[in-house]
Amino acid sequence: MTTHGQGQAGPPQGEPPVDVRERGANGQTSHRRLFMQLQVLTGVAEAKPLVAALEASGVPGALYADVNDPRGVGVLAFAEDPAFFARELRGLLAGEPFAGLTPRPELTMLGRTYASGFEPDLEDWLLHRPRRTVLNAAWPWAIWYPLRRAGAFARLTAQEQAGILREHGTLGRGYGDADLAHDVRLACHGLDTHDNDFVIGLVGRELHPLSHLVQAMRKTSQTSSYLQSLGPFFIGHVLWQSPGRA
């Protein structure tokens, strides 16, 4: 967790230091976070060789059947070190049996966990909760999508922003408490081809409650008034999850 000097850069004289640490409740800080990426491919004739390759590789994550493409799959992987995606994951997807598949880069999503400043257990929120969520065998359905906020949101006061986000968060927690939908929230500023701000993953036991939550979110102030774009959506059903599932 907190270590002095980590995540900080020396500023020009007279200017405040740049601090890129994550912050939680009660003064918690951390320079650690989890990066997660979804790669979508098509041209799959048989998924078993893909599962075998993933198991042999030791890559942490999940393999989804693409519900909207009978020959498509989604590979979800995660790591604290983003170089993992340029090395281990790149090597896996460049080799057989993935090499013969066709990537769908318009559905690639990359993001990082982040804190809002109110998390009671910052390390769990940043590192462990996302893993538990995507690796839970009881929650095989998933909807992943990016979103971009409209510039007008950034011009609101902190109090106005907090109220809008509170409405959004309360709705999401209601679905989670009922075990209908559970979310993974990732920031993707500067990491997304289309300049999106966030990547959202919704997972659960059944698909309908995930769709219902997206529908219910349409009525919130954030979605109805302060989103510039939403999607594209990837809808998947788990074919494989790495060890360590909940």
Confidence of residue 240 (pLDDT cuts 50, 70, 90): very high
Angle at 186 between CA 66 and CA 8, to 5 degrees: 145
What is the pLDDT averaged over residues 103-128? 96
State pLDDT tens for residues 135-181.
999 999 999 999 998 878 788 788 887 787 778 778 889 999 999 99
Helix H or strand E segment including 48: helix 48-57
Q: Which pLDDT score is estimated for 152? A: 83
Q: Is the pLDDT of residue 8 over 60?
A: no
Would you place residue 11 in the very low, low, confident or very high pLDDT band (cuts 50, 70, 90)?
A: low
The tokens describing 199, both together, are: 């990547």
Q: Hey, what amino acid is at 230?
A: L
**Are the C-beta atoms of residues 119 and 25 closer than 8 Å to each other?**
yes
For the domain spanning 35-241, the CATH number is: 3.30.70.1030
Token pair of 95 as six digits: 């080799």
* Beta bridge partner(s), residue 78: 36
51/69 Cα distance (integer angstroms): 18
Question: What pTM was estimated for this model as a whole?
Answer: 0.89
Helix (H) or strand (E) holding 51: helix 48-57
Q: What count of other Cβ atoms lies within 10 Å of the Cβ of residue 87? A: 12
Residue 71 to residues 44, 68, 231, 246: CA-CA distances in angstroms?
Answer: 5, 9, 21, 28
pLDDT tier, 202 (very low <50, low <70, confident <90, very high otherwise): very high
What Cα–Cα distance (Å) separates residue 111 from each residue in 76, 153, 167, 200, 208?
12, 20, 23, 9, 25
Domain ranges for the chain: 35-241
Write out pLDDT tens, residues 77-113. 999 999 999 999 999 999 999 999 999 999 999 999 9
**Rounded Cα distance, 77 and 211, in Å:** 23
The conformation of residue 125, written as its DSSP 8-state character, comes to I
Does residue 199 surpass a pLDDT of 90? yes
pLDDT at position 50 is: 98
Rounded-to-integer distance, Cα 155 and Cα 243, Å? 44
Q: Which of 70, 71, 104 lies closest to 232 in space, CA to CA?
A: 104
pLDDT score, position 222: 78
